[in-house]
Structure 1
Amino acid sequence: MRIAHVTDVYLPRLGGIELQVRDLAGRQRAAGHDPIVLTTTDGPRPPGGAERPGALDEPPVLRLGRQARTVGFGPYRAMHDRALRASLAAQRVEAVHVHVSAFSPLGWTAARVAAAEGLPTVVSVHSMWHDIVPLVRRYARWHAAAAWPVAWAAVSSAAAGAVRAALDGAPVAVLPNGIDPEDWMTPGRRPAGNVPTLISVMRMVRRKRPRELLRTLLALQRGHPGRFRAVLVGDGPLLPGLRRDLAAAGPGTGIRLTGALDRTSIRTVLARSDLYLAPAPRESFGIAALEARSAGLPVIARAGSGVADFIQDGVEGWLVHSGSDLRATIAALLDDPARLAAVAHHNRAVAPRVHWQAVLETADALYAAAAARHSGRLGQLLGSPA
C-alpha cells in the first residue's frame, strides 16, 4: 500500500513525532508497504522529487516547503488545498496517515483534503490537547471535522480522551508509539549495595518539567546526602539555565546533566541506572519511559499521563499526582531498596505489551477502518446501503 505520512515536523529536526514517523514508515517499508513522508520541514533537496532512502528502514521524503507559506511560529507552514491535492495525486497515494500535535497547519489541511478526495485517512494526535480543548473544538466545529470520513487516533488513552472531547465525542482509537523492547533490555543485575542512580531523559523544555525535577533532586540530596546519584539526559533551551542552577548548588550533589546523547549512549546509561523519573504531567506517551521500563528500570511517572498506559502503579513503577508526591515516593524508595528491587525484577522478567508488531497491526486496522468509513459515507451520499 502506498501510504503518505504527512507531518508538519520531520528530521533533521529532532523530536518525538519526527522519530516516530520515521520509525513507523520505515517499519512499514520493511513489512512490504510503500510509504512516503510528506513534510514542510526543510532538509536536503535533491533535484527530481523525493529524497531516496539511504537504508531499508528509511522511507523516502518529499519536502513541500517551497510550496508552503510560513504561519504562526517555529517551523510551521501552511499549504493551499490545490497544491497539497496535486502532491498526493502525483505520489499515487492509496492511504494518508496524518500526524498532528497542538499546532499542525499542514496536518489539518491534509486530513481535510485527503478525506474529501476519497483517500482512506487516519489522523494520529501525538500531544495532549487538555489545555486547548476549547480552541480545537471551535476549529473542529468550524470545519465539521468530527463528520469527516477519517479514523481518529491518539498515542495514549490520556491523549485520546482530550481528542474525543474536542471532537464532541467522536470515536478515537489508541495507536501507541512503537518500540522493540528487546533492543533496550540490559543484561544481568546491578550489584547490591551500590548507591542507586536515578535517570530521566527528556527535551529540556518547560512542559517536560526539567527545572522542577532538578529542584526536587537537589532538595532530596540535602535530606539524603550521598544516598543517590542522578543523571538528566537531553538538550533544549532550558539546559544552560539548568547548568547554572546546578553549579550554584555547589559540588557534591551527585547530579549530572549530560546534554543530548544518542540511543546507544542512552542504553549504556540505563544499564547503569536503577530508577527512571518521568515528571511531566502532560506526557502524551513517554517513549523514553517505555525504553527505560524495557531496560528493566522501575518508573515513577505522573498519573493521568500517557505513561499510565504501560506503567501500573505498584507493578512496573509508581504513578504520582504532584511534584510533592514524586519527591515523597523517591524518598520512600531510598529508604526501602527491597521495594525498588522487586519492581526491577518484575520489569526484567516481563516484557512490556507495547511493541512494533502490535503498532503495525493497529495501524493496518485503522487504514481498513478509514476505508470503511469512506465507503459508508459514499454509500449514504449515493443512497445505497453503507
Structure 2
Amino acid sequence: MKVALLTDCYLPRLGGIEVQTHDLAARLQARGHHVEVFTATPGDQGQRWGVVQQVDGIPVHRMALRLPWELPVNPLAPPEVRRRLRRGGFDVVHLHMGVVSPFASDLADVALGLGLPTAITWHCLMARSAMVFRALGHARRWAQRGATLSAVSGIAAAQVRQVAGEGLLVEVLPNGIDVATWAPPDRVTEAERAAAPEREFVRVVAAMRFARRKRPAAVLEIVRAARDLVPPGVGMHLDLFGDGPERRRLQRFVDRHEMADWVSMPGRATREELRARYWDSDVYLTPARLEAFGIAALEARTAGLPVLARQDTGVADFVTDGVNGILGRDDQALAEALATLVTDGALRHRIAKENASVPPAQSWDAVAALAEREYRRAGAT
C-alpha cells in the first residue's frame, strides 16, 4: 500500500504529533508499505518550497513557506500537493489534525476532491472549541464525502463525534510506543528486590514542555500540597524535566516556597535520559487537563512507574485507577493520591510490578495494524 501522511507539523519540530507521525511512518514502512510525508514544517537545513528530503528513509515533502517563527502554515500548498498526490499513485491519504491545522484541513479537501481514500485522525481535545468546529462543519462534511474519522483516545473520539454528528463512527487510533525500548530491565530477582533497603526518599518525576497549556506550575503546587500531607520523616524528591517560557516562573515558585532542597529542574532530556530516570524513579505525575492522549505518561507507565493523572484525559485509556496508577478528578485529588503513594510502599510496589510485567495495549505493532484497518475502512486496497 502506498500511504501519504499529511501533517502541519513534523520533525525537526518536537512534539506529540511530530514524533508520532514520524514513528507511524517508520512502522508502516517496516510492514511493507511505501510511505511519504507532506508537511508545512521546514527541514533541519531550512528545506522548503516543495523540496523532498529523506528522513530516516522516508521521503518528506517540505511544503513550507518562509514565515516568522517557522510557522507551519502554507495556504499556497494545495495546488502543488494536489499535483503530487495525483501523480504519486497513492492508495490512501492519512491526515493528522491538531487543534489548529490549516495545512491538513486544506489538504483534506484536496484528497477527497481527488477521490482518494482518506483517513483523518485528531490528536487533540476539541471541547473548548466545539462550538467553532461545529459551526465550521469540517469534520461532518469530510465524513459525508467518505473520509473515515478517528482520534487518539476514547475521550478525544467522543468529542470528535459530538462535533461531527452523533451518528458517525469515530474510531480510536491511539499513539504507539516501542514497548521493548521502554520496559524496565529485569536487573534483580524478586527476592533481591525484597531484601534491598528502601531508598531514603521517594523519587517523583514529571516531564513536559514548560508552557501554560501543559500546567508545569500545577506540578509544583501538587507536590508542595502532597509534601504537607506526608509525615516529616518520609523523604520525597521531585525531578521536573523540560524547558520553555514558564521556566522563570517555576523557579520563582521553588525559591519562594523553599523547595530547592527537594525539587530539581534538570532541563530538557533525551528519550534515553528520560528512560533511565524513569527506571530509577518511583512515581510519575502529570496534571495536564487538555491531554488528548499523554505519550509521556504512556512511556512512564511502560517503564514501570505508577502514573498519577487526571481522570478526564486520554491517559485513562491506558491507566486503570488503582491498577496502573491513580486517576484524580482535580489537583487536590492528585495531591492526596501522591501523598498516599509516597507513604504506602506496598501499594507503590504493587502498581510498579503490574506495569513492569503487563505491557500496554498501545504497542506499535498493534497501532500500525489499527492504522491499516482505518485505511481499509476508508476504501484502500
Q: Do the two structures share a fold, i.e. TM-score over 0.5?
A: yes
Q: What is the aligned counterpart of 1:88 among 72, 85, 88?
A: 85
Identity score, percent: 37
Tell me what 1:273 maps to. Answer: 281
In structure 2, give the amino acid aligned to 1:59. Answer: I
How far did residue 305 of structure 1 move? Answer: 0.7
Q: Which amino acid aligns with 2:208?
A: M
CA-CA distance at 1:282 after TM superposition: 1.8
1:40 equivalent in alignment to 2:37: no
1:321: Cα distance to partner?
0.3
Q: Contact 1:9 / 1:76 at 8 angstroms: preserved in 2?
A: no
Aligned mates of 1:251, 1:330 — CA distance in 2:
17
Other-structure match for 1:157: 154
1:102 counterpart (83, 92, 99): 99
Equivalent residue for 1:193?
198
Query: 1:351 deviation in Å?
Result: 1.3
Query: Secondary structure of 1:52's match?
Result: strand
1:161-176 pair list within 5 angstroms: 161-169=158-166, 170-176=168-174
Unaligned runs of 5+ in 2: none
How far residue 105 of structure 1 moved from its aligned partner, in angstroms, is 0.7
Total equivalences in the alignment:
368
Amino acid at match of 1:219: A
Determine if contact 1:239/1:259 at 8 Å carries over to the other structure. no
Question: For residues 72 and 204 of structure 1, do their structure 2 counterparts lie closer, same or farther at Cα, with a shift above 3 Å needed?
Answer: closer
1:47–1:289 Cα change, 3 Å:
closer
Q: CA deviation at 1:205?
A: 1.3
- Asked if residue 61 in structure 1 is aligned to residue 60 in structure 2, the reply is yes
Compared CA separation, residues 172 and 47, structure 1 to 2 (3 A): closer
CA 251–323 in structure 1, closer or farther in 2 if over 3 Å, else same:
closer
Structure 1 CA distance, aligned partners of 2:318 and 2:266?
27
Computed over aligned residues only, the root mean square deviation of the Cα atoms, in angstroms, reads 2.4
Aligned to 1:178, which of 176, 179, 183? 176
Alignment of 1:134-283 (within 5 A): 134-140=131-137, 144-169=141-166, 170-187=168-185, 188=187, 191-194=196-199, 195-224=201-230, 225=232, 227-250=235-258, 252-283=260-291
Partner of 1:311: 319
The AA in structure 2 aligned to 1:108 is S
Partner residue, 1:123: 120
CA-to-aligned-CA distance 1:65-113 (integer Å, 9 cap, x gap): 24xx979994333235433311322433221110010000111111121
Q: Which moved more, 1:328-337 or 1:118-127?
A: 328-337
Equivalent residue, structure 2, for 1:50: 52
The TM-score with structure 2 as length reference comes to 0.90
Aligned amino acid, residue 27 of structure 1: R
Structure 1 distance, partners of 2:138, 2:276, is 48
Q: Is the 8 A contact 1:70 1:78 kept in 2?
A: no
C-alpha distance in 2, partners of 1:277/1:168?
35
Which stretch of the first structure deviates more once superposed, 331-340 or 127-136?
331-340
- Using the size of structure 1 for normalisation, the TM-score is 0.89
What are the within-5 Å matches in structure 2 for residues 22-37 of structure 1? Answer: 22-37=22-37
- Work out whether residues 254 and 260 of structure 2, in 8 Å CA contact, stay in contact via their aligned partners in 1: no
Q: CA offsets per residue over residues 2-48 of structure 1, 9 Å max, x none?
A: 21111111111111000001010011112211111101111232999
Moved more, 242-251 or 35-44: 242-251
Letter in 2 for 1:123: I
Question: In the alignment, is the contact (CA less than 8 A) between 2:49 and 2:64 conserved in 1?
Answer: no
| 2:63 partner letter | L
Query: Is contact 2:51–2:63 with CA below 8 Å preserved after alignment?
Result: no
Q: CA deviation at 1:240?
A: 2.6
Secondary structure of 1:283's partner? coil
